[in-house]
Structure 1
């Protein structure tokens, strides 16, 4: 009975919300605007900074739970009903107002900044943040790339949406830096991690349309300072077929 009353109240408060039922909020929602900006503009760092910091939501009305991913960590909070919308409350006093606008989820933070999210395609039971990551990888690096400069010239490289890479001499796994420590160390540079057999290293990359340059990452910081990565020797130049 204790659980039924809050849910009944939530349904009552949301009954006037343009035919949307509370359960319409359920599921995983991704920041498609950030992905589109990355593909259009080329610079991943710039696109994520302008359209973040939240890249994925997971909402469960029945349990009144809300979680989001910022590309570095997952944050769990509580859902509560507000007038014609939901409010997500997080530790430290952070709140987000959630409302549906057609097929989109609108999230507004305490500064008034609004971000739009679309429902993830068949997310399944996957870790929070992975739906956005998968969609980003497919849109940003999907397709066939040919090595035109560097070791393996002439080979076709394919980056899969689950973090696999084939055709690039050496590594068979990759990960784009979205946020957190790797972003801080890279500054304004775009960076990725390349590895094989759980051994790897960071690299700096630059994408300009159908051209992808990958550079060694040089640490310009002193031994007792936080690493600051900059582009070193160019390792590969890839062009999209």
Structure 2
């Protein structure tokens, strides 16, 4: 009898454990955009194809939901529609709907955005600053590892891009930031761009990521002095090869 009781108890517990989680609370990132950028090398194209939103942070208990698109952060009020569907209302009565299925969060297609998919970040790894979780995951996947300087200043040295935005071994730079959206994207047109900074001084650069090679070019401004900058690739400064 005790054995039967234990088996029944185990069955009940297993059934409970196998139920899908209907709580969307936590941090969610656009992993599809990261995977596409890593596989193709084309960052802006990947963000355009799978974005534009890059991260959600949700607190169901407080009825709060925040998204980041790499340029701006929007905070909204979360409301449950049914166990797997939620609505987020933002300033100006603008709404988005979210669907939850196992460990996948879907931002439903709307008048503003296409359907987008998000993957949950483990709670122990999640950062509180909106957008920082996507950036760290992107930096790790897209630029992680050791790079050898094949051409340019520091030739023969190793370069390491860290997930927190620091860079080691690249002459004249100690921090970097990939352009995801906003003014930097508008100013670089169809080109991928990166910000390199040393101390308080920094500047934009154009880059091309092809397989295991990373080419970094001077960003030449083609605009007039009274116009918004319009950057195009200039002379190549570095050629890096991933080891």
CA distance in 2, matches of 1:93, 1:226: 32
- Over 3 Å counting, the alpha-carbon distance change for 1:21 and 1:210 in structure 2 is closer
1:90-140 CA-partner distances (Å, limit 9, x unpaired):
123432211111211111132483211111133445201000000000000
CA distance in 1, matches of 2:125, 2:233: 35
1:163-218 CA-partner distances (Å, limit 9, x unpaired):
01011111111000000100010111000100111211100000001000000101
Q: SS at 1:162's partner residue?
A: coil
Q: SS at 1:25's partner residue?
A: coil
CA distance in 1, matches of 2:127, 2:150: 39
2:179 to 177, 180, 188: 177
Provide the residue aligned with 1:97 in structure 2.
Answer: 97
Structure 2 residue 206 is matched with structure 1 residue 207:
no
How many residue pairs get aligned? The number is 223
Deviates most, 75-84 or 170-179: 75-84
TM-score, normalised via structure 1 length:
0.89
Pick the structure with greater CA Rg. 2
Structure 2 residue 121 is matched with structure 1 residue 120:
yes
Q: SS at 2:74's partner residue?
A: strand
Provide the residue aligned with 1:229 in structure 2.
Answer: 231
1:58-81 CA-partner distances (Å, limit 9, x unpaired):
001111011000001111001112
Kept in 2: contact 1:31–1:118 (CA 8 A) = yes
Provide the residue aligned with 1:6 in structure 2.
Answer: none
Give 1:16-95 correspondences, 5 Å limit: 19-22=19-22, 24-84=23-83, 85-95=85-95
Structure 2 residue 140 is matched with structure 1 residue 141:
no
Provide the residue aligned with 1:106 in structure 2.
Answer: 106
Kindly state the Cα deviation for residue 19 of structure 1 after the two structures are TM-superposed.
Answer: 4.3
Structure 2 gaps, min length 5:
1-17
CA distance in 2, matches of 1:42, 1:227: 25
Kindly state the Cα deviation for residue 21 of structure 1 after the two structures are TM-superposed.
Answer: 4.9
CA distance in 1, matches of 2:146, 2:165: 15
CA distance in 2, matches of 1:170, 1:224: 29
TM-score, normalised via structure 2 length:
0.88
CA distance in 2, matches of 1:92, 1:19: 37
Q: SS at 2:233's partner residue?
A: strand
Structure 2 residue 194 is matched with structure 1 residue 192:
yes
Kept in 2: contact 1:28–1:123 (CA 8 A) = no
